[in-house]
Amino acid sequence: MSELLDMLHQHKIVAILRGIEAQHADQTAQAIIDGGVRLLEVTMNTEGATAIINQWRTKFGDGKARIGAGTVLDVEMAREAVAAGAQFIISPNLDEEVIAYGVERGISVWPGCMTPTEIVRAWKAGAEAVKVFPMASLGVKYLAEIRAPLNNIPMLATGGVDIDNIGDYFRAGACAVGMGSKLVNLDWIRAGEYERVTERVRQFVQVAASL
């Protein structure tokens, strides 16, 4: 098990930052880390994503957190992300070239998959874990069903997670969950209310740790 996969199992939550503005980035990352989440993903369709990734690696790369890139659709985007310092790559889709690129460089790649066929293809291509997406539409019963025959493949469930149902995701077999706006409220960030962000993150971390 790689260090990143071990962290995924241990910390159970990946914070997804989409649309974060550069001027708020550092304080937001600090607020998330203060709340207890150690895996931070900046989506590549965020303006200035590579600059933020690079900035966070410099500021938080001494063991405080692991910084990854999300919404990585192809190898070209993967190259940009890794050049910026991304330590892991997450995609909404399955692209075996991206997995191979990560494997060659020791970078964890967690591709987006929906069907059992995609999940097994990703696993055979070298993905250590897969992102089951879109969970908000698929539902936790779907996750429980596919986990039954594919229980040896770690699954990061992304979409639809909130404080009331996060336990259902883990009981259905997720090793971790990916969370965006339900975890990190951009309106609070823009208002400078970083303490509220930290407290919200802490609530999710406490629930996840109890499961």
Alpha helices in the chain (DSSP H): 3-11, 22-35, 49-60, 75-84, 96-105, 116-125, 135-138, 140-147, 166-171, 186-190, 194-209
Q: Among 131, 141, 145, 199, which one carries the catalytic annotation?
A: 131
CA distances in angstroms from 111 to 76, 78, 91, 157, 206, listed in the order given: 15, 12, 5, 11, 27
Residues 13-66 have pLDDT tens digits of 999 999 999 999 999 999 999 999 999 999 999 999 999 999 999 999 888 899
Q: Among 3, 12, 21, 41, which one carries the catalytic annotation?
A: 41
The domains of the chain, with CATH numbers, are: 3-209 (3.20.20.70)
Residues 143-189 have pLDDT tens digits of 999 999 999 999 999 999 999 999 999 999 999 999 999 999 999 99
Residues 57-71 have pLDDT tens digits of 999 988 889 999 999
41 is catalytic: yes
What is the per-residue pLDDT for 62?
A: 80
**DSSP conformation letters of 50-104:** HHHHHHHHHHHTTTT-EEEEE---SHHHHHHHHHHT-SEEE-SS--HHHHHHHHH
What is the per-residue pLDDT for 139?
A: 95
Report the distance separating Cα 144 and Cα 142, nearest Å.
5
Q: Read off the pTM.
A: 0.97
What is the per-residue pLDDT for 63?
A: 85
